[in-house]
């Protein structure tokens, strides 16, 4: 099991390296595909549909495609508009097929689009920034996957106090502290290594520490949904890891936070 998980992890990192380094259409298309799969996993987990490829389900996928098309053209001008259009389409389906769907199903359909597609799109938005986007985007993964790895190692070695005993009994306070500290250290090292490209060890450490805290909340939120729905994993796409949401649960919630923290840093450095 460990070997399978390790190989899958290496391949996953390699794929992330390739797509993010390419950026542009390659990254956008990859994120759009990942988002559709992630939305599908959440729909299945929530048992939203009685049969596959239901009309409301298809409307959710169409909403993802519309949103990413808008992000490609101009996120600032059309991103929110595309999201609203997706909601309106879902309401049309809800109204004109009534009483086929319940209100909770429509809410779940829209929530999945925002939670998965919109949040993940911030990876693309960071990468495409003119002010060092190709370097700043890696902060998302340093603080989320870095925190996850460091928290696991520290928790295994020193973990004694349960952080969330009911929700996730294996997670410890010591592991959480180690995860945040580890992510901050990774950020500092990365900032020092990219200093010639505008990197800053202290600022990157702070960003990664904040991002790590947020990533733990994202990880636990995804776990809470699984416990509510009484499932072990969201899917089986990634051997040893589960589904897209099992591997990207912390990245999903971290990406928007890093995006806005980066914007603040860029604005402050520009005004300095």
Which sequence spans correspond to the domains of the chain? 24-127, 130-272
Report yes or no: 206 and 258 within 8 Å, Cβ to Cβ: no
pLDDT higher at 36 or 3: 36
Task: Check pLDDT > 70 for residue 272.
Answer: no
Strand runs labelled E in 127-232: 162-164, 168-172
Please report which confidence band the pLDDT of residue 13 belongs to, taking 50, 70 and 90 as the band edges: confident
Mean pLDDT, residues 40-45: 93
Give the Cα-Cα-Cα angle 230, 148, 218 (nearest 5 degrees): 50
Mean pLDDT, residues 243-271: 84
Query: What percent of the chain stands above pLDDT 70?
Result: 94
pLDDT of amino acid 16: 80
Taking only the tens place, the pLDDT of each residue in 72-98 is 999 989 999 999 999 999 999 999 999
Task: Check pLDDT > 70 for residue 150.
Answer: yes
- Size of the chain in residues: 272
Report yes or no: 245 and 235 within 8 Å, Cβ to Cβ: yes
Task: Check pLDDT > 60 for residue 157.
Answer: yes
Q: Give the phi and the psi of residue 163 in degrees, each rounded to 5.
A: -85, -50
Which three-class secondary structure state does DSSP give residue 251?
Answer: helix
| Residues 6+ away with beta carbon under 8 Å from 27 | 19, 20, 123, 124, 127
Helix, strand, coil percentages, rounded to 5, for the chain: 80, 5, 15
Q: What is the pTM of this model?
A: 0.92
Indicate the DSSP class of residue 196. G
Taking only the tens place, the pLDDT of each residue in 106-129 is 999 999 999 999 999 999 999 998
Task: Check pLDDT > 80 for residue 4.
Answer: no
d(CA 141, CA 79): 24
| Residues 6+ away with beta carbon under 8 Å from 26 | 19
d(CA 60, CA 62): 5
Taking only the tens place, the pLDDT of each residue in 190-222 is 999 988 777 788 999 999 999 999 999 999 999
Report yes or no: 192 and 201 within 8 Å, Cβ to Cβ: yes
Task: Check pLDDT > 90 for residue 167.
Answer: no
Report yes or no: 113 and 86 within 8 Å, Cβ to Cβ: yes
Taking only the tens place, the pLDDT of each residue in 126-139 is 999 887 888 999 99
pLDDT of amino acid 270: 59
Mean pLDDT, residues 61-69: 97
Which residues is 242 bridged to in the sheet?
238
- CA-based nearest residue to 113, from 138, 89, 86: 86
């Amino acid at each position: 099991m460990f070997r399978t998980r390790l190989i899958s992890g290496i391949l996953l990192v390699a794929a992330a390296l390739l797509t993010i380094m390419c950026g542009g259409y390659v990254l956008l298309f990859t994120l759009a595909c990942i988002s559709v799969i992630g939305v599908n996993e959440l729909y299945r987990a929530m048992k939203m549909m009685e049969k596959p490829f239901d009309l409301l389900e298809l409307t959710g996928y169409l909403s993802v495609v519309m949103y990413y098309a808008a992000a490609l053209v101009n996120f600032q001008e059309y991103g929110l508009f595309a999201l609203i259009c997706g909601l309106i389409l879902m309401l049309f389906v809800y109204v004109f097929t009534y009483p086929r769907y319940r209100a909770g199903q429509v809410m779940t359909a829209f929530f999945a689009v925002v939670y998965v597609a919109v949040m993940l799109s911030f990876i693309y938005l960071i990468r495409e920034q003119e002010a060092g986007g190709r370097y700043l985007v890696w902060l998302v993964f340093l603080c989320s996957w870095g925190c996850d790895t460091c928290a696991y190692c520290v928790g295994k070695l020193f973990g004694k106090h349960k952080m969330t005993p009911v929700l996730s009994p294996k997670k410890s306070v010591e592991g959480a502290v180690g995860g945040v500290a580890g992510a901050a250290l990774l950020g500092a090292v990365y900032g020092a290594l990219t200093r010639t490209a505008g990197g800053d060890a202290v600022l990157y450490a702070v960003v990664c520490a904040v991002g790590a805290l947020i990533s733990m909340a994202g990880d636990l939120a995804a776990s809470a949904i699984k416990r509510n729905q009484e499932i072990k994993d969201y899917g089986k796409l990634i051997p040893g890891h589960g589904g897209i949401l099992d591997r990207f649960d912390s990245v999903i919630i971290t990406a928007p936070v890093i995006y806005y923290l980066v914007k603040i840093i860029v604005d402050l450095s520009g005004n300095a």
